[in-house]
Amino acid sequence: MKKLSLYVFLILMFCSNVFAETPVAWKIDNTYLTPKCFAHEWISSDNFKEFYNKYAPGKYESSIYASPQWEDWWSNIGIHFGKEIPLEDSFEAWGKTLSLTRYLENCGSDEPKIKDKIELLSYAISREIPLEYCKTLAPNVDAECLSLKLITLTQDFSGSMHPVYHMNVYGIFELANKDKIILPLKMNTDRQP
């Protein structure tokens, strides 16, 4: 009887592992998005400051990053694409090429990968958003909107620092040349530890 109980227990444990819910990666056509597909704010905010200085109507002031203008601009970043922010634009800063546009061919994968162990970044799909909101979130983007999702990005750190969570809305668009890009459309600048 003890052996039977042990076998039943082991079978149940195996079944719970097999049928456990696995994290879902965002998939478009045959490509899975990886964490590097998502433009996000660095912990230092240096990349966001560079974007703001380049594209925002006003220039950097020492207190601008705590201002309502800063919050509003990032909260509604999608309305600036195709207007103040040219699609596919990039520039050099901090020894890196910065861009708010990500190409799926450069960041996607053939297999689901929601964690990047090198960058210590992972993501989860929090909610599907109806496509009818594309024109509201990105009215100046002249491309076909294929998918909208609310994404929770988790940025981990080695050592004793707590993870930082970003909840942002991203959209996948198909350009006239058939390239697929992902853009941040609504950003939450209030990072949660």
Please tell me what DSSP assigns to residue 187. Answer: -
- The contacts of residue 140 (CB under 8 Å, 6+ apart) are 79, 80, 81, 82, 83
- Whether 164 shows a pLDDT value over 50: the answer reads yes
Q: What is the mean pLDDT of residues 83-106?
A: 94
Q: How far apart are alpha carbons 180 and 18 in whole angstroms?
A: 34
What does the pLDDT read at residue 156? 85
What does the pLDDT read at residue 60? 52
* Global confidence as pTM: 0.82
**Residue 34 has which token pair?**
């990886």
> Computed from CA positions of residues 127, 131, 132, 135, in that sequence, does the dihedral angle turn out positive or negative?
positive
Q: How far apart are alpha carbons 25 and 123 in whole angstroms?
A: 8
DSSP output for 28-85: ETTEEE-GGGS----TT-HHHHHHHHHHSSSPP-TTGGGSHHHHHHHHTGGGGBTTTB
40 near 188, Cβ under 8 Å?
no
- Whether 186 shows a pLDDT value over 70: the answer reads yes
Percent of the chain residues past pLDDT 70, beyond the cut: 80
Give the model confidence (pLDDT) of 107-129 as tens digits.
999 999 999 887 789 999 999 99
Domain limits of the chain? 25-186
CA angle (147, 150, 153) in 5-degree steps = 120
- Whether 71 shows a pLDDT value over 50: the answer reads yes
Q: What is the mean pLDDT of residues 150-164?
A: 85
- Whether 136 shows a pLDDT value over 80: the answer reads yes
Mean pLDDT score across all residues of the chain: 83
Q: How far apart are alpha carbons 179 and 174 in whole angstroms?
A: 6
- Whether 64 shows a pLDDT value over 70: the answer reads no
Q: How confident is the model at residue 59 (pLDDT cuts 50, 70, 90)?
A: low
DSSP output for 77-146: GGGGBTTTB-TT--EEETTEEE-S-EEHHHHEESS---EETTTTEEEEEEEE--GGGHHHH-TT--SEEE
